[in-house]
Chains A and B, each alone.
Chain A
Amino acid sequence: MTHLSEEMIAYARQLVSLYPEPRSALIPICHLAQEQDGWLRPEAIEEIAAVVGVSPAEVFGTASFYDLLHTEPAGRYVVSICTNIACMLAGAYDLLDHAEKNLGIKAGGTTPDGLFTLEDAECIAGCDNAPCLQVNGRYFGKLTRAEFDKLVEDLRAGELAEQVPPHGTLCRVRRSVGLTARDGGGDARLGTSDEPERPSSTSGGGTAGGVAGSERGGATGGGTAGTSQPARRRRRGKK
């Protein structure tokens, strides 16, 4: 019995087979683990290490470098308010102050119910809609205080489930073609495999890799950390 679901492990192996070196799949598979758990649990790190063929310490060492890979629990909704230059010129720090009051936490913290983590974020490339923010990587822009309150209310009520999957779900589209499992003796690199890369038109999408299936679009896993422990982030506290 693995911690990561069988489907996740199978897809992780498919990702490994896409790259000339297995370790290249490390970060994509970390995203998958976060899709299931909302953060990178130690058990997941162990299994990622096994799939990729490195030590758990190496997975942790890589993951801890990156802002989007959470080695401690994060809220179900990670609200990242950009305060960089363009958003700052549009009042982002006022918005962040307001968000701290609304959620009752400081930037870098997580609400006691585990629902929200608030971040003082760097530029997220939404500058034409400043001040902007992301919730779990999904954009919201030109926000007034009232609109922020409404956003929080809607998230709490689950009304934005379609638009904002639980934290950790990066990509709701699975690669459904061009997959060949290394275990099956093939290789994703064309020219080195005897197996056809694309499924024939009669076999339908998602068959080459076995697991993918583009119909599998919805988010899986709870994704919520359910903890009051604030996520310790690399230099993400508010000044």
Chain B
Amino acid sequence: MALTGAPRIVTSRIGYEDSYTLERFLATGGYDGLRKALSMSPEEVSAEVNTASLLGRGGAGFPAGRKWSMLRAAPTTYLVVNGDESEPATFKDHLLLERDPHQLIEGVMIAAYAIGAAQVFIFIRGEMALGIERVTQALNEAYEYGAVGRNVLGSSFSVDVVVHPGAGAYICGEETALLESLEGKRGFPRIKPPYFPAAIGLYGEPTVVNNVETMSNLPWIVLNGGAAFAALGSGSSTGTRLFALSGRVNNPGVFELEMAKTTFKDLIFDKSLGNGIIDGKALKAFIPGGVSAPWFSPDQVDMHLDQDEVGKAGSMLGSGSVVVMDETTCALRAAWRITKFFWRESCGQCTPCREGSGWLEKTLWRIENGEGREEELDMLMDVCDNLAPGLTWPPQQTTICVLGPSIPSSIASAIRMFRDELLVHVKEGRCPFA
């Protein structure tokens, strides 16, 4: 662990070559957390998770314990694990899926016990073939070992777990779209309300949807206590978290860091982390939490990796992925590529998103290629304002899900922060970075 003395909670095994095997898992305390959880009551397990105040690691940052407590009382309750990691520049969950699948299964079993789930579905992004193979293999082993299935580890608790492969659609990371996909349908997000699948989820039954990293924290929390987890970090940002650093840095990668103690500057420049910008170039801007998030400028680099602090500054820690742009990066081209992504991935249900994304992408591409007009920058902002009125963060909703209102983040950031640079494209009739 770099920079602070915090323990590695979810990446303790990934240094081992055979980290994904049952042998390594058992030799390093594997399934001890589940064993301990089964000796407690489900309410006691939930209480520990509440004490930990574990925030969801998927993007929205909603407290996991509170999600559980919102479950509507019903005979059948489902637990669904969201492993559809596809927010661009986010690459932490696939590490956990590939390198420590048993830790995920242990966490899943702890959560299933706590909420009394009738069945568990682990939804894994279809592009992650190795992750799907590793988790499937681990699940076979876990059944044989007795950690999943009937009478788990000799207790009276039984639950079945199913690995469900996705088929390539970013929108399925949205939890109601994921549930539709899991029901064998097109991944269309469901109309809200109900806002939470805890009321009406899979097959209309109350359902908890939790992220892979969120689940992977549970064995440690049960073994060491929620208070020990909450002692790490600061304020509402407790524990450690995986940060995925990419872009124009010397050492991109996934780093487990204590929440709220490390700054973006540390993450990007510290020798043990990002190790600075390629060729010693100057930092131009960075995205603090996935491409849906509004960008930050270099003078915000001293901000902590803290959900509240980043939120107050008008962006989000989101999926924990930080993208670094340097002085060689064309801000317009970056915004164009991100917008193209949203255009491709829009599910097409809502007009502002389906149409807005396409026209925004076309306009940005024209300006990037020197065929734009100055007034088009204002038009872009106007279209963005139609998608997310006021251009605040979190955005105002105009569509069924948050994909559409996330589209303006990169465009508005590029125009607000680099208007002059965008105008050079117009005036010179070419991209100055090409």
Contact flags A1-25 to B (C-beta < 8 A → 1, else 0)? 0000000000000000011110111
9 contacts between A and B (CB under 8 A): A122-B341, A122-B345, A128-B246, A139-B130, A170-B126, A173-B133, A177-B140, A234-B344, A239-B365
What number of B residues sit within 8 Å (CB to CB) of A? 75
A156 interface contact, C-beta 8 A = no
Cβ of B148 to closest chain A Cβ, rounded Å: 7
Cβ of B258 to closest chain A Cβ, rounded Å: 21
For residue A137, which residues in chain B have a CB less than 8 angstroms away from its CB? Answer: 126-130
Contact of A65 with B183 in the complex, beta carbons under 8 Å: no
Contact of A20 with B203 in the complex, beta carbons under 8 Å: yes
B149 interface contact, C-beta 8 A = yes
For residue B128, which residues in chain A have a CB less than 8 angstroms away from its CB? Answer: 125, 137
What number of A residues sit within 8 Å (CB to CB) of B? 64
Q: A86-B323, A189-B160 given as contacts; is B165 within 8 A of A171 (CB)?
A: yes
Cβ of A119 to closest chain B Cβ, rounded Å: 11
Contact of B132 with A123 in the complex, beta carbons under 8 Å: no
A111 interface contact, C-beta 8 A = no
Cβ of B209 to closest chain A Cβ, rounded Å: 15
Contact flags B68-99 to A (C-beta < 8 A → 1, else 0)? 00000000000000000111111101100000
CB within 8 Å of A: which B180-201 residues: 181-187
Residue of A nearest to B183 (CB): A24
Contact of A66 with B118 in the complex, beta carbons under 8 Å: no
With A20-B119, A123-B90, A174-B136 known, 20 other A-B pairs at CB within 8 A are A27-B165, A66-B166, A68-B126, A69-B168, A84-B338, A88-B333, A89-B246, A89-B248, A89-B329, A127-B246, A127-B321, A170-B126, A171-B133, A175-B136, A177-B144, A188-B162, A197-B143, A197-B149, A198-B143, A205-B140
Complex CA distance for A21 and B343, rounded to whole angstroms = 32
Contact of A26 with B89 in the complex, beta carbons under 8 Å: no
Contact of B140 with A173 in the complex, beta carbons under 8 Å: yes
CB within 8 Å of A: which B120-140 residues: 125-130, 132-133, 136-137, 139-140
- Taking beta carbons and an 8 Å cutoff, which residues of B are in contact with A? 85-91, 93-94, 118-119, 125-130, 132-133, 136-137, 139-140, 143-144, 146, 148-150, 158-170, 181-187, 203, 244-248, 252-254, 287, 291, 321, 323, 325, 329, 333-334, 337-338, 340-341, 343-345, 347, 365
Complex CA distance for A85 and B321, rounded to whole angstroms = 12
Q: A24-B182, A239-B365 given as contacts; is B334 within 8 A of A85 (CB)?
A: yes
For residue B149, which residues in chain A have a CB less than 8 angstroms away from its CB? Answer: 177-178, 190, 197-198
For residue B140, which residues in chain A have a CB less than 8 angstroms away from its CB? Answer: 173, 175-177, 205, 214
Cβ of A172 to closest chain B Cβ, rounded Å: 6
Contact of A138 with B88 in the complex, beta carbons under 8 Å: no
Complex CA distance for A134 and B94, rounded to whole angstroms = 14
Contact of A191 with B248 in the complex, beta carbons under 8 Å: no
Complex CA distance for A125 and B97, rounded to whole angstroms = 12
Determine which residue in B144, B148, B158 has the highest number of CB atoms from chain A within 10 A of its CB, and name it. B144
Contact of B168 among A61, A66, A84, A198 (CB under 8 A): A66
Cβ of A213 to closest chain B Cβ, rounded Å: 11
Interface of A is mostly: loop
Contact of A198 with B91 in the complex, beta carbons under 8 Å: no
Contact of B129 with A170 in the complex, beta carbons under 8 Å: yes
For residue A26, which residues in chain B have a CB less than 8 angstroms away from its CB? Answer: 184
Contact of B132 with A171 in the complex, beta carbons under 8 Å: yes
Residue of B nearest to A206 (CB): B140
For residue B344, which residues in chain A have a CB less than 8 angstroms away from its CB? Answer: 122, 234-236
For residue B86, which residues in chain A have a CB less than 8 angstroms away from its CB? Answer: 122-123, 125
Contact of B246 with A125 in the complex, beta carbons under 8 Å: no
CB within 8 Å of B: which A181-239 residues: 188-191, 196-198, 205, 214, 234-236, 239
For residue B170, which residues in chain A have a CB less than 8 angstroms away from its CB? Answer: 122
A114 interface contact, C-beta 8 A = no
For residue B340, which residues in chain A have a CB less than 8 angstroms away from its CB? Answer: 239
Contact of B325 with A190 in the complex, beta carbons under 8 Å: no
For residue B146, which residues in chain A have a CB less than 8 angstroms away from its CB? Answer: 198
Complex CA distance for A28 and B181, rounded to whole angstroms = 11
